[in-house]
Amino acid sequence: MATVEQQPAAASTNGRAGQISVENPATGEVVGSVPNRSAAEVAEIVARARAAQPAWEALGFEGRGRIFTRAQKWVIDNSDRIVATIVSETGKTHEDAQLAEIAYAANAFGFWAKNAPEFLADERVRSASVFVRGKRLLTRYRPLGVVGVIGPWNFPLTNSFGDCIPALAAGNAAVLKPSEQTPLTSLLMAEMLDECGLPPDVFLVATGDGEAGAALVDEVDFIMFTGSTATGRKVAARAAEHLIPVGLELGGKDPMIVLSDADLERAANAAAFYSMNNGGQVCISVERVYVEAPVYEEFVAKVTEKVRNLRQGDPAGGPGTVDVGAVTFAPQVDTIDAHVKDAVAKGARVLSGGRPSGDGPGRFYEPTVLVDVDHTMDCMTEETFGPTLPIMKVGDAEEALALANDSPYGLQASVWTRDTERGEQLARRVEAGAVCVNDAQINYAALELPMGGWKTSGLGSRHGAGGIRKYCAQQTLLVTRFAPKRDLHMFPYRARNTKLLGGLLKLVYGRGRRG
């Protein structure tokens, strides 16, 4: 067991509740412990980051990019160690850690190093206004200062540290408050950046519980939050008190719509994978399926067979030994089980799984397929965040669409059909920030594509140009080089000038036809 006491606050004051133990959810073994930072300690950590930020900004894109290139290599060279750390604190499989975390970080360092200079370059602007003719008009981006990132436990690298990468690329310092369930990966990332030559204090980790997260909101210039909609609302309300901008990536209830002309074998493989990968603990998991009646029976049979064959357990045996890992967050077992029991009590049938599993101290939930479900059941309306797949029969695509949109969430969705043109038209009518046709989740790997939720699934987006511009203040510059001593519109107002200006406005804007 490792006791981690990294990056202590400069003059540590009254630590609130001492240490937080970190447990391996697959075995119950304690694998580390980290300090539970008090609000005063969080403030000190942010102050250190603030002091380090100007020199980091001054390094420029090239200087920062060099460190990112080293970090990219470090991630690949040390991938076994990173995977082992992630697996030890989440209980997820090696493959889930490799696919969604190592691959993400390695790609992200390269992507932001390459694209930050272009996304944040000065932009020359042309204007139709007669008042600014001949003037130089520009917009530019400047880092905000210190970006705070509050992360969840399902992806301790991707959804926590991952948001720090563009923040740092823009020239901000970043302070990360990881979930108290999974803080070890963030501390490893701090060690990595240190070895890669990041100047001291530019990236700091403030370990602790929810109160440490709340304290971070009070100190930073931008807060990026990933987690539940309920906590997201609290974070947004607290940020509003300081009038700082927020980015929120919250819960989802992603629908999958399977039309009768779909490639059923591919759709069934995808349904099993994208609902159960990472133990179903993915904000963009397939959480509910609507299948057109003519192919419903065949689709259900295929999915059930695939889910029954999944191997679940402690991933300690290494790569290829299990498909579905543990439930990372203890209370989540109760949420998953409550959704399954609620569905069964209201008439649903369990075709596979349906219970917590494992006879040891580890936490698991059996990969579960539910049918005869409807929207009176929590499993179809609330985020389950576990290895469950409720499948509902629908009359046609319009019914599927109406049910897909019957949700307070709007993170992602997918449509499955061989008629990709029709699929795309249907996708455009789904109320979600991202919709795939004949695919799911994999859009997240393309950092060029913005990713953000509609409705209660979030505010703002990550990835794409917007994913780094949000960490900057935009500044407009107007430069006048050649000009008279007094412009026509300046004091004193004279009737002749007013008439002249009126004529000018008529000339420029008054020539279009009416009606």
Catalytic residues: 249, 283
Q: Which of residues 464-503 bind ligand NDP (CB under 6 A)?
A: none
State residue 252 phi and psi, 5-degree precision: -145, 165
Check residue 452 for interaction with ligand NDP (CB under 6 A): no
Three-state DSSP class for 34? strand
- CA 139: distance to chain centroid? 27
Distance of closest approach, residue 214 Cβ to ligand NDP, in angstroms: 4
Q: Is 455 in the site for ligand NDP (CB under 6 A)?
A: no
CA distance 244 to 409: 24
Is 362 among the residues that bind ligand NDP (CB under 6 A)?
A: no
Return the number of the residue (20 or 173) whose C-beta is nearest ligand NDP. 20
Q: What is the DSSP letter of 201?
A: T
Among 78, 228, 260, 269, binds ligand NDP (CB under 6 A): 228
Least separation in angstroms between residue 497's CB and ligand NDP is: 57
The residue with tokens 């929120």 is 248
* Contact window for ligand NDP (CB under 6 A) among 139-147, 209-217, 366-374, 421-429: 209-217
Question: Which of 383, 407, 447, 470 lies at the binding interface for ligand NDP (CB under 6 A)?
Answer: 383
Q: How far is the CB of 331 from ligand NDP (least distance, A)?
A: 7
**DSSP state for residue 102 in the 8-state scheme:** I
Nearer to ligand NDP, 115 or 414 (CB): 414
Task: Describe the strand order of the beta sheet including 472-479 as a list of residue ranges.
Answer: 123-124, 136-143, 472-479
Strand-pair partners of 473: 142
386: contact with ligand NDP by CB under 6 A:
no
Q: Which helix (H) or strand (E) segment is 49 a member of? A: helix 39-58
For residue 406, how many C-alpha atoms fall within 13 Å in the half-sphere facing its CB? 15
Q: What are the structure tokens assigned to 203, written together? A: 């990236």
Q: Which residue number, 89 or 292, has a Cβ lying nearer to ligand NDP? A: 89
In the list 57, 194, 209, 399, the residue contacting ligand NDP (rule: CB under 6 A) is: 209
Least separation in angstroms between residue 480's CB and ligand NDP is 46
For ligand NDP, give the closer residue by CB, 115 or 285.
285
Nearest approach, Cβ of residue 267 and ligand NDP (Å): 24
User: What distance in Å separates the CA atoms of residue 403 and residue 261, rounded to the nearest whole number?
Assistant: 20
Put the strands of the sheet holding 203-205 in their side by side order. 203-205, 173-177, 146-150, 222-226, 246-249, 458-459
Strands 434-437 and 454-455: unpaired
380 binds ligand NDP (CB under 6 A): no
Q: Per CB under 6 A, which of residues 84..103 are in contact with ligand NDP?
A: none
Min. distance of Cβ 462 from ligand NDP in angstroms?
11
Give residues 125-154 in contact with ligand NDP (rule: CB under 6 A). Answer: 150-154
Q: What is the 3-state secondary structure (H, E, C) of 414-429?
A: EEECCCHHHHHHHHHC
* Least gap, CB of 154 to ligand NDP (angstroms): 5
Distance CA 212, CA 194 (A): 23
Binding mask 306-335 for ligand NDP (x = CB under 6 A): -----------------------x--x--x
CB 258 within 8 Å of CB 416: yes
Of 110, 210, 358, 450, the one binding ligand NDP by CB under 6 A: 210
The yes or no reply on residue 235 touching ligand NDP (CB under 6 A) is yes
CA distances to 9, 36, 40, 204 from 211, rounded to whole Å, are 17, 9, 11, 17
Taking the C-alpha atoms of 167, 170, 171 and 173 in order, what is their torsion angle to the nearest 10 degrees? -10
Nearer to ligand NDP, 366 or 383 (CB): 383
> How far lies 71's CA from each of 53, 108, 193, 223, 504, in Å?
19, 10, 7, 24, 58
Smallest separation, CB 239 to ligand NDP (Å): 10
Nearer to ligand NDP, 326 or 472 (CB): 326
Number of residues that bind ligand NDP (CB under 6 A): 29
Residue 405 Cβ vs ligand NDP, minimum distance, rounded to whole Å? 20
Does 227 help bind ligand NDP (rule: CB under 6 A)? yes
What is the secondary structure of 375-410 as a DSSP string?
TTSHHHHS---SSEEEEEEESSHHHHHHHHHSSSEE
Q: Is 213 in the site for ligand NDP (CB under 6 A)?
A: yes
Q: What is the 3-state secondary structure (H, E, C) of 211-250?
A: HHHHHHHHHCCEEEEECCHHHHHHHHHHHHHHCCCEEEEC
Kindly tell me which residue out of 9, 250, 400, 403 binds ligand NDP, with binding defined by CB under 6 A.
250
Shorter beta-carbon distance to ligand NDP: residue 65 or 148? 148
Residue 385 touches ligand NDP, criterion: CB under 6 A: yes
Question: Do 41 and 206 touch, CB atoms closer than 8 A?
Answer: yes
* Residues within the interface to ligand NDP (CB under 6 A): 150-154, 159, 177, 179-181, 209-210, 213-214, 226-228, 231, 234-235, 249-251, 283, 329, 332, 335, 383, 385
